[in-house]
């Protein structure tokens, strides 16, 4: 019987060897392959090898790094910042999140809410799950201006703040709210903001998210915020003068409260158009007001932002005509003339 040649022992695979194509690497890291491609194109995440056909080949270490980035992004960190960091630094950033998450899961997360729609949006996500802590809403305030008084001594883990148009003028209020609630961390949700304002809030160690944000992601951001605590350093900003702001016409027909009432009301339209149209009106109205603020703050391009505000106001008015027709057809609540915003 012939003797078979001995099989040479297999050599260990180097953690830096390119083994996985993009699809496999994305699956192993828990990242949608489309997202991975966007990240690579925008941020040049990894210096990968290439196959004979020009395809990216990821090493085990690179896949590990992608997985760390994905988990930190889920906790609210911007991918553009993470793209420049090493595996060791990413692991350091993730470590306190594990500690915070374990401590929080042992009890309910104490949350103070500032904003008109947060309670309704979060109501289905407050009981928690195996991967998410339960939430105990300790204080609620609809008004940003009244929040520093209403949230006194709330002793919250997190203060969650909803601001449609975020500007430098609101920075002192946000700091005051966080201090009044004795919050360990803050998460700010917004529709529109100048990049400089966002930078100031990051300096105050706030987590930021542009709306719309799924409620479950909001809770994840809260958990992440507790893993990134830092002393609050309020940055007082001088009050801005709002002279010459654009005055778009026609007058606003539906307030935010009116739109929320319509979206929440039952109706026979199975496609959910009242809810979707209310969302669009929220966003267009928010952009209209944000453009007015830009026109007031920046003399160099005030005329441009004034025009944007007027065009947004005209679009908002057309959508309000459609909403009025839809609400009447479905018997949905309409604002009384006395309550219409001016």
Q: What integer is the mean pLDDT of 194-210?
A: 84
Q: Are residues 118 and 209 in the same domain?
A: yes
**Residue 79 clears pLDDT 60, i.e. is over it:** yes
For 268, the token pair is 């026979």
Please indicate, yes or no, if residue 298 is contained in any of the structural domains.
Answer: yes
- Alpha-carbon distance of 71 to 55, in angstroms, equals 25
Q: What's the confidence (pLDDT) of residue 62?
A: 87
**Residue 194 clears pLDDT 60, i.e. is over it:** yes
- Average pLDDT over all residues of the chain: 75
Q: What tens digit of pLDDT does each residue of 229-238 get?
A: 433 333 333 3
More confident residue, 110 or 96: 110
Domain C-terminal end among 211, 226, 241: 226
Rounded to whole angstroms, what are the CA distances from 210 to 166, 213, 217? 10, 7, 12
Q: Are residues 145 and 222 in the same domain?
A: yes
**Residue 268: exposed, middle, or buried by beta-carbon count in 10 A (0-12, 13-18, 19+)?**
exposed
Q: What's the confidence (pLDDT) of residue 127?
A: 60
Q: Are residues 171 and 219 in the same domain?
A: yes
Q: What tens digit of pLDDT does each residue of 282-312 get?
A: 888 888 888 877 766 666 667 777 778 888 8
> Residue 270's pLDDT band (boundaries 50, 70, 90)?
low
Domain extent for 146 = 107-226
pTM attached to this predicted model: 0.48
Q: What's the confidence (pLDDT) of residue 184?
A: 83
> Residue 342's pLDDT band (boundaries 50, 70, 90)?
very low
> Residue 11's pLDDT band (boundaries 50, 70, 90)?
very low
Q: Are residues 74 and 28 in the same domain?
A: yes
> Residue 1's pLDDT band (boundaries 50, 70, 90)?
very low
Q: Catalogue the E-assigned strands of the chain.
A: 49-50, 56-57, 109-114, 135-141, 158-166, 185-193, 207-210
Q: What's the confidence (pLDDT) of residue 112?
A: 87
Q: What's the confidence (pLDDT) of residue 279?
A: 83
Q: What's the confidence (pLDDT) of residue 102?
A: 53
CATH of the domain at 141: 3.40.50.2300
Please indicate, yes or no, if residue 128 is contained in any of the structural domains.
Answer: yes
Q: Give the three-state DSSP class for 239.
A: coil
Q: Are residues 126 and 212 in the same domain?
A: yes
Q: How many domains does the chain have?
A: 3
Q: Are residues 214 and 264 in the same domain?
A: no
Are the C-beta atoms of residues 290 and 192 closer than 8 Å to each other?
yes
Domain C-terminal end among 54, 85, 116: 85
Q: Report helix angle 87-105 to 60-74, nearest 10.
A: 40
Q: Are residues 28 and 119 in the same domain?
A: no
Q: Are residues 210 and 301 in the same domain?
A: no
CATH of the domain at 68: 1.10.1660.10
For residue 188, what are the β-bridge partners? 161, 208
């Amino acid at each position: 019987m012939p003797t078979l040649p001995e099989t040479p022992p297999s050599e260990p695979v180097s953690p830096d060897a390119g083994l996985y194509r993009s699809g496999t690497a994305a699956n192993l890291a828990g990242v949608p392959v489309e997202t991975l491609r966007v990240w690579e194109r925008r941020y040049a995440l990894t210096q990968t090898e290439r196959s004979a056909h020009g395809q990216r080949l990821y090493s085990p270490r690179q896949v590990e790094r992608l997985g760390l980035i994905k988990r930190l992004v889920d906790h609210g960190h911007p991918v553009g910042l993470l793209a420049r960091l090493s595996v060791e630094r990413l692991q350091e950033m993730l470590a306190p999140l594990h500690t915070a998450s374990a401590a929080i899961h042992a009890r309910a997360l104490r949350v103070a809410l500032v904003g008109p729609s947060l309670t309704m949006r979060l109501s289905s996500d407050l009981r928690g799950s195996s991967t998410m802590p339960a939430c105990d809403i300790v204080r609620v305030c609809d008004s940003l201006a009244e929040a520093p008084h209403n949230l006194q001594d709330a002793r919250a883990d997190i203060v969650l703040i909803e601001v449609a148009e975020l500007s430098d003028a609101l920075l002192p209020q946000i700091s005051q709210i966080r201090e009044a609630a004795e919050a360990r961390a803050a998460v700010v949700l917004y529709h529109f903001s100048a990049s400089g304002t966002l930078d100031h809030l990051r300096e105050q160690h706030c987590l930021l998210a542009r709306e719309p944000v799924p409620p479950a992601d909001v809770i994840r951001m809260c958990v992440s915020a507790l893993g990134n605590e830092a002393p609050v350093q309020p940055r007082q900003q001088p009050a801005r003068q709002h002279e010459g702001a654009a005055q778009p016409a026609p007058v606003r027909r539906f307030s935010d409260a009116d739109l929320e009432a319509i979206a929440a009301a039952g109706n026979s339209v199975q496609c959910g158009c009242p809810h979707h149209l209310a969302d669009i009106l929220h966003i267009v109205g928010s952009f209209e007001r944000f453009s007015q603020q830009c026109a007031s703050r920046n003399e160099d391009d005030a005329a441009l932002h004034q025009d944007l505000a007027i065009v947004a106001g005209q679009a908002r008015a057309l959508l309000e005509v459609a909403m009025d027709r839809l609400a009447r057809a479905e018997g949905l609540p309409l604002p009384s003339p006395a309550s219409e915003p001016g």
